[in-house]
Structure 1
Amino acid sequence: MLSVETPESERLDRWLSAHLPDLSRNRLQKLIDGEYVTLNGQLCTDKKRLVQAGDIICLTLPEAQPLELTPESIPLDILYEDDHLIIVNKPAGLVVHPAPGNRSGTLVNALLAHCGEGLLGIGGVQRPGIVHRLDKDTTGAIVVAKTDLAHQDLQAQMKAKTARREYLGVVYGAPREQGGTVDAPLGRDPSDRKRQAIVTVEKGGRNAVTHWQVQERIGNFTVMAFRLETGRTHQIRVHCAHLGHPIVGDPVYGAGRSVGVNLPGQALHAARLTLRHPATGETVCAIAPLPPPFETLLSVLRNRQN
């Protein structure tokens, strides 16, 4: 339930979009049309209805309809596996889980073929076993739980920041400092709902913290290591762009720049994942080798300096 506090009148769909940044305006309009919104206790299906200070809006989200998940024989580069969890070196181009528009060919489809249907329902029907995600074109280590106990424990480690996620990326430019921290909340870009942006908490942004360290300077490019405290969508990519040093090859936050190397996506790689085993308590450290395109990029940039 939401209370309108702005003094000026505003369209219902626009007001909801401004106050619920995790839902697209198109999604909100469909919810209004579908009779999931009430205004001052009365059903409201008019997205253009003006709301004003003192109005009470109630939005009810319908239960998600489960997607039909089909096992698919997609090769996996397995870094670690036992009866409780599996850590995979995800390639570029592989979406983590099915969603509208990507109902097949995902990591989940591959895992169902590899692990069997016992994975179904672990942590929910929509994203079985998924503990955290990587962007479609970000490569590297990702952990998936095989049991409910492992899923709960691993998610708790992510939330408590005891699981350590370390990335390598190549950025444009040369930062003056050797390292630093970006502490800037993230949310949907108000001008483009498909992008993320620096958005204040007051306007719906969520806390996001990225630690970075220079690993190698190569002319007007820099290899940087990143450690995440939070795992927001596109976090490293947005924070790097915020620093003025976008990730090389990033089609969204570094568009218009080229290095003359054919990259399948942004030069960002989840290089190391360290966690506590949910059953034994032992430390598990998975190191994902750099993918060939990343290695090629480094080779080309270094040769230009010679």
Structure 2
Amino acid sequence: MSERNDVTAQVPDTPEDMTDGNIQTFTIGEDQAGRADKALCLLMDISRARSRELIDDGRVLLQDTPVKPKTDLKAGDVIAVDRPPEQSLDVLPEDMDLDIIYEDSDIIVINKPTGMVVHPAPGHVNGTLVNGLLAHCKDLSGINGVMRPGIVHRIDKDTSGLLVVAKNDMAHQSLADQLAKKTAHREYRAIVHHPFPHTHGTVDAPIGRDEKDRQCMAVTAKNSKPAVTHFEVLENFRNYAYVLCRLETGRTHQIRVHMKYIGHPVAGDPKYGPRKTLESHGQLLHAAALELDHPRTGEHMRFEAPLEPEFAKILQDLESEVIQ
């Protein structure tokens, strides 16, 4: 999930012709300070071209005044962005057998199976988690628009495990704030290539689009965002290792990119791993635990989800190759 810096500060007055979208406010952090077009890319996880479109259309305001692409934004500045509504792709409710770990009037925690896409996109509008949620819930937070109602963070299609969905805007703002402030925690289990010579470590390396393949992410200093992954080696095998990863940030494909970067790509990963790997229906990566404070009550909550059967079977088969 890309981190956001949404704040609850009052939105400045906006021109009459700037009212057809979803107005959000963002506080500029130290990492985003500088040109407005670059800052917007980082804050909203959008392309440079899309950033310029919003600015050129007068949809980005600083103290009631539209910014220019080269406007110098300083840490602490609060900008208002009027994001046009996404075009509806007729996202329809679909009855699904969702694995619901927890649910109340504010949030719902789902254990997503491998192979399920979280939200619709052009060319893929059916069979997603959002389709199932629309059938299950009467209402979801509209902050992320019609294509991603209630979605606060994502996990990849072929990654299994936990994610929390907001049922109303209050819950959405609270959860997004917890993720941004790193008070919500996510733990993953993964089988990776090659045993480790040490028991734990931290990967602190920025992630951005791979210049050679725009469909992939990579560790890079260019147009990137800070990314930190902590890991603990649970078991070493002859050719693999079983690890626990804790996310400090939530960049796209973060664990997969970081593990590849340190020479331990996730097994079964068709995008970042080697061709010769363990056979599975996707990368052997599972969002095993999620901790957060309830948006309404403030109660600290922890949720856990067991490994999927295929993942558990592969792990069991590797037990004969344990390195003592």
Please give the TM-score of this superposition, normalised by the length of structure 1: 0.78
Any idea what SS the aligned residue of 1:196 has?
Answer: strand
- Aligned AA for 2:216? R
Change (3 A) 1:103 1:269: same
Which of 214, 223, 231 does residue 193 from structure 1 map onto? 214
Does structure 2 conserve the Cα–Cα contact (< 8 Å) formed by 1:36 and 1:61?
no
Which stretches in structure 1 are left out of the alignment for 5+ residues? 1-15, 40-55
Q: Deviations over 1:125-147 (max 9, x none)?
A: 23100010000000001000111
Separation of aligned partners in 2, 1:120 and 1:150: 8
Instruction: Kindly state the Cα deviation for residue 174 of structure 1 after the two structures are TM-superposed.
Output: 1.1
1:90 and 2:112 correspond: yes
Percent identity at matched positions?
50
- Aligned AA for 1:209? V
Which of 116, 120, 144 does residue 165 from structure 2 map onto? 144
1:267 and 2:284 correspond: yes
- Counterpart residue number, 1:166: 187
Instruction: Kindly state the Cα deviation for residue 63 of structure 1 after the two structures are TM-superposed.
Output: 5.3
Instruction: Kindly state the Cα deviation for residue 302 of structure 1 after the two structures are TM-superposed.
Output: 1.5
Alignment of 1:105-120 (within 5 A): 105-116=127-138, 118-119=139-140
Instruction: Kindly state the Cα deviation for residue 74 of structure 1 after the two structures are TM-superposed.
Output: 1.6
1:248 and 2:270 correspond: no
Separation of aligned partners in 1, 2:84 and 2:171: 28
Any idea what SS the aligned residue of 1:141 has?
Answer: strand
Change (3 A) 1:287 1:91: same
Instruction: Kindly state the Cα deviation for residue 23 of structure 1 after the two structures are TM-superposed.
Output: 5.9
- Counterpart residue number, 2:246: 227
Change (3 A) 1:38 1:147: closer
1:182 and 2:203 correspond: yes
- Counterpart residue number, 2:75: none
- Counterpart residue number, 2:100: 78
Which of 258, 274, 278 does residue 277 from structure 2 map onto? 258
Separation of aligned partners in 1, 2:227 and 2:88: 30
- Counterpart residue number, 2:300: 283
Which stretches in structure 2 are left out of the alignment for 5+ residues? 1-36, 57-68, 72-81
Any idea what SS the aligned residue of 1:119 has?
Answer: coil
Structure (1 or 2) with the larger CA radius of gyration: 1
Does structure 2 conserve the Cα–Cα contact (< 8 Å) formed by 1:186 and 1:197?
yes
Which of 227, 233, 236 does residue 214 from structure 1 map onto? 233
Any idea what SS the aligned residue of 2:125 has?
Answer: coil
Does structure 2 conserve the Cα–Cα contact (< 8 Å) formed by 1:122 and 1:146?
no
Does structure 2 conserve the Cα–Cα contact (< 8 Å) formed by 1:98 and 1:127?
yes
Instruction: Kindly state the Cα deviation for residue 24 of structure 1 after the two structures are TM-superposed.
Output: 6.7
Separation of aligned partners in 2, 1:109 and 1:217: 40
Does structure 1 conserve the Cα–Cα contact (< 8 Å) formed by 2:141 and 2:166?
no
- Counterpart residue number, 2:3: none
Separation of aligned partners in 2, 1:178 and 1:112: 43
Separation of aligned partners in 1, 2:290 and 2:54: 42
Separation of aligned partners in 2, 1:208 and 1:231: 7
- Aligned AA for 2:122? P
Change (3 A) 1:20 1:151: closer
Instruction: Kindly state the Cα deviation for residue 64 of structure 1 after the two structures are TM-superposed.
Output: 3.1
Separation of aligned partners in 2, 1:38 and 1:211: 37
Any idea what SS the aligned residue of 1:219 has?
Answer: coil
Separation of aligned partners in 1, 2:53 and 2:181: 35
Which of 64, 85, 93 does residue 86 from structure 2 map onto? 64
The CA RMSD measured in Å over matched residues stands at 2.8
Does structure 1 conserve the Cα–Cα contact (< 8 Å) formed by 2:187 and 2:290?
yes
Separation of aligned partners in 2, 1:128 and 1:207: 27
Name the stretch that deviates more: 124-133 or 185-194.
124-133
Change (3 A) 1:70 1:300: same
Separation of aligned partners in 2, 1:195 and 1:275: 29
Name the stretch that deviates more: 187-196 or 123-132.
123-132
Separation of aligned partners in 2, 1:283 and 1:61: 33
Q: How many residue pairs are counted as aligned between the two chains? A: 261
Separation of aligned partners in 2, 1:126 and 1:176: 44
Please give the TM-score of this superposition, normalised by the length of structure 2: 0.74
Change (3 A) 1:20 1:277: closer
Does structure 1 conserve the Cα–Cα contact (< 8 Å) formed by 2:236 and 2:322?
no
Instruction: Kindly state the Cα deviation for residue 120 of structure 1 after the two structures are TM-superposed.
Output: 6.1
Does structure 1 conserve the Cα–Cα contact (< 8 Å) formed by 2:196 and 2:236?
no
Alignment of 1:4-15 (within 5 A): none
